């Protein structure tokens, strides 16, 4: 499946080592997942900007794997700018990720070596 043009732009930025999401200058609305029209306001003047990279774990679960594959965390992180992202929290045991935990974004290699955005606890810098 080929990503849509806004999604392709997001993944291109990740491949270049940059975490960017969209924002409408006219309304101030921050947007993630990438799109051509802002979902709340209908704004079409979306531009790519660098967010703070900080967020809070909004929801979390552990995907239990059959050994020897390690369990993984699946989380929804609410960025400080407002949008929520489905992701992983790395750097701690999957069972230790907690709702309300402050996290920081980082670009990592996914299973197919394509860049993905993950988070790590804020205290790990």
Domain ranges across the chain: 1-50, 52-125
Q: What is the mean pLDDT of the chain?
A: 93
**pLDDT at position 39, please?**
93
Q: Is 21 exposed, middle or buried (0-12, 13-18, 19+ CB in 10 A)?
A: buried
CB 36 within 8 A of CB 70: no
CATH 2.40.50.840 fits 52-125, yes or no: yes
One-letter-per-residue 3-state SS of 68-117: CCCCEEEEEEEECCCCEEEECECCCCHHHCCCCCEEEEEEEECCCCCEEE
Q: What value does the mean pLDDT take over residues 9-29?
A: 96
Question: Cα–Cα distance between 73 and 64 in angstroms, integer?
Answer: 9
Q: 125 pLDDT band (50/70/90 cuts)?
A: very low
Is the pTM higher than 0.85?
yes
């Amino acid at each position: 499946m080929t990503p849509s043009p806004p999604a392709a732009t997001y993944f291109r930025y990740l491949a270049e080592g940059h975490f960017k999401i969209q924002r409408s200058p006219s309304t101030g609305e921050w947007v993630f997942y990438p799109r051509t029209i802002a979902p709340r306001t209908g704004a079409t003047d979306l531009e790519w900007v660098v967010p703070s990279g900080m967020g809070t774990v909004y929801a979390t679960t552990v995907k239990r794997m059959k050994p020897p594959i390690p369990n993984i965390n699946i989380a929804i992180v609410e960025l400080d700018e407002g949008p929520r992202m489905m992701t992983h929290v790395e750097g701690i045991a999957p069972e230790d990720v907690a709702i309300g935990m402050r996290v920081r974004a980082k670009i990592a290699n996914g299973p197919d070596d394509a860049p993905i955005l993950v988070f790590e606890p804020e205290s790990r810098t």
